[in-house]
Structure 1
């Protein structure tokens, strides 16, 4: 899942080396924290959050076979 998130976000940002994805597993959910360079935050979130919503939609669809709920936090 980390590779999927990274492959989606890398073309959007100016500083691809600053992409950090951490995974936190809890009892009923799996949380991915995406951190990018401060200048790239707006590019990843997009106007009115449209890009962030699209990224989350793809990640959720890719994890549909998982028993745990997937969350993606963008920082």
Structure 2
């Protein structure tokens, strides 16, 4: 092998990509849009619209959307094998991620009657 026939190995290293950060005013508008969108979805899939409430709280790095509903409507919220709530969480998470906001949808826990 001559000096001109040497193989050159190239190693590519991935750089961490920072998600875009929304400023406080933009982030607050995005969170309110997410809350309204989530509330709208719930109104369409659940029976007792008067008992549905969606609030959010902002943590250090995460926004938590908290859903309150009538205990008898919880099954409609969760869906068969959790498909409804999984889909809702995926959509809300994707919506907020575009704005650089991490989001979680929290649902009520109701103790089973013994």
Larger strand percent: 1
Give distance in 1, aligned partners of 2:87 and 2:101.
Answer: 20
Cα distance, 1:65 vs. partner? 2.3
Taking only aligned residues, the RMSD between alpha carbons, in angstroms, comes to: 1.0
Give, in whole Å, the separation in 1 of the partners of 2:93 and 2:78: 17
Query: Aligned equivalents of 2:91 and 2:102: distance in 1?
Result: 14
1:8-67 Cα shifts (integer Å, max 9, x gaps): 111111110111112111111110110111111000101111110000011011112233
Q: Which runs of 5+ in 2 are unaligned?
A: 1-33, 109-114
Unaligned runs of 5+ in 1: none
| Corresponding position of 1:70 | 103
Alignment partner of 2:39: what SS?
helix
Q: How many residues end up aligned between the 2 structures?
A: 75
The answer for the alignment partner of 1:25 in structure 2 is 58
Aligned to 2:37: 4
Answer 1 or 2: higher relative contact order, Cα 8 Å, separation at least 6. Answer: 1
Q: Distance in 2 between matches of 1:11 and 1:49?
A: 17
Structure with greater Cα Rg: 2
Q: TM-score, normalised by structure 2?
A: 0.62
TM-score (norm 1): 0.91
